[in-house]
Amino acid sequence: MDLLNTLVDKGLRRELPSREEALAVLATSDEELLDVVAAAGKVRRQWFGRRVKLNYLVNLKSGLCPEDCSYCSQRLGSKAEILKYTWLKPDEASKAAAAGVAGGAKRVCLVASGRGPTDRDVDRVSQTIEAIKEQNEGVEVCACLGLLSDGQAERLRAAGADAYNHNLNTSEGTYGDITTTHTYADRVDTVQKAHSAGLSACSGLIAGMGESNEDLVDVVYALRELDPDSVPVNFLIPFEGTPLAKEWNLTPQRCLRILAMVRFVCPDVEVRLAGGREVHLRSMQPLALHLVNSIFLGDYLTSEGQEGKADLEMIADAGFEVEGAGTTTLPQHRADALAGAGCGSHAQSGCGSHEGGGCGPCGSESVPAAAAEVSEARTDLVAVRRRGAGTDLAPNA
């Protein structure tokens, strides 16, 4: 297939494919799917070998968010019956993080609901970062606290944060259809603040809202321009009690095509399979490891994930290996660039935001050609997290 040969050649050279080529990946048929996965897998192996980085989410503050992101179970007005609690104390957060590290996680992602942190919140998270680093030697810490004000990224870095996550989620043209309480430009600004402070920038997307192929390509190209070290790819988890609860627009095949497109556009970037993989990829999750080089271990922010032990078995059975703490995730040219920016972190990992919130225009008239492959609703696979951070039960790590 000439298209795939071209995309592999460009990926091995870190050359940006054309928009038409990226759209063509999303338009491939199911009969061509294994060829697409094999081609993108060559690019993945060139830059990351067969390593899989494990990341672990700690939800520092759950629910009661004033923002109205339509996809999010923690949004303003959400009726989803999720755990709701205010800030975990530093020792509580450190204990939760230690469970993930013990399970093999190389990076801990600290996430808090809300528009963005106050200066007092930054102090609180800084203490948490210091506690985690003191008790878990060599662990990387990524913060995901919402929109940043001037100087906050620098303070987080001084406290020991390695990275900052803030997802674009969807294309600029459709952003206003899913959120009205902040703008796409606000999100871009926060990613740039993290970058400028020397933090490893992480920003990704959420798919599954019936968005057009053009919307998906738009947001991935915007991410390539922002040049984060990590791109988490979330798939909508349609929570009951949110505006998008009835949106089931993904099949395992479409998810794989989206991941392949992201890999071709961002060949040397840490691509993370984030929220929603268990819901939408299901038994085809192992195939995704040929496209991504990073996943979350265990549960997400407000939903249950696959058991941590099952994650490890899946990686081993698929012929991959868990990336060790002493290994630099990013290819050398990116690691050198990051070190030159003044950040001593290894690779970027990212927090998959509010785990699988979808980011297409709700009710948009722009329906993709792939909309014909709508999946059967699997509400049985959407389970609220009832263990780990914010509870007295052991986490699923």
Is-catalytic flag, 385?
no
Nearest to 277, CA basis, from 228, 310, 245, 246: 310
| Residue 175 structure tokens | 């952003």
Is-catalytic flag, 359?
no
Is-catalytic flag, 144?
no
Is-catalytic flag, 351?
no
Q: How far apart, in whole angstroms, are the C-alpha atoms of residue 358 and residue 114? A: 18
Catalytic-labelled residue, pool 44, 75, 107, 109: 109
- DSSP H or E segment with residue 397: none
The one-letter amino acid code at 147 reads L
Q: How far apart, in whole angstroms, are the C-alpha atoms of residue 357 and residue 73? A: 8
Quick one: how far is CA 239 from the chain centroid?
18
Using DSSP bridges, classify how beta strands 321-322 and 294-296 pair: parallel, antiparallel or unpaired.
Answer: unpaired
**C-alpha torsion 276→105→227→232, nearest 10:** 0
Catalytic-labelled residue, pool 157, 263, 272, 277: 272
| Other Cβ atoms closer than 10 A to 19 | 14
Catalytic-labelled residue, pool 107, 124, 142, 351: 142
Q: How far apart, in whole angstroms, are the C-alpha atoms of residue 102 and residue 32? A: 40
- The gap between the terminal CA atoms of the chain, to the nearest Å, is 41
Which DSSP category does 271 fall into? E
**C-alpha torsion 83→85→91→93, nearest 10:** 50
Is-catalytic flag, 343?
no
Catalytic-labelled residue, pool 44, 107, 187, 202: 202
Q: Taken in order 225, 208, 292, 197, is the CA torsion positive or negative?
A: positive
Residues forming the active site: 65, 69, 72, 109, 142, 202, 272
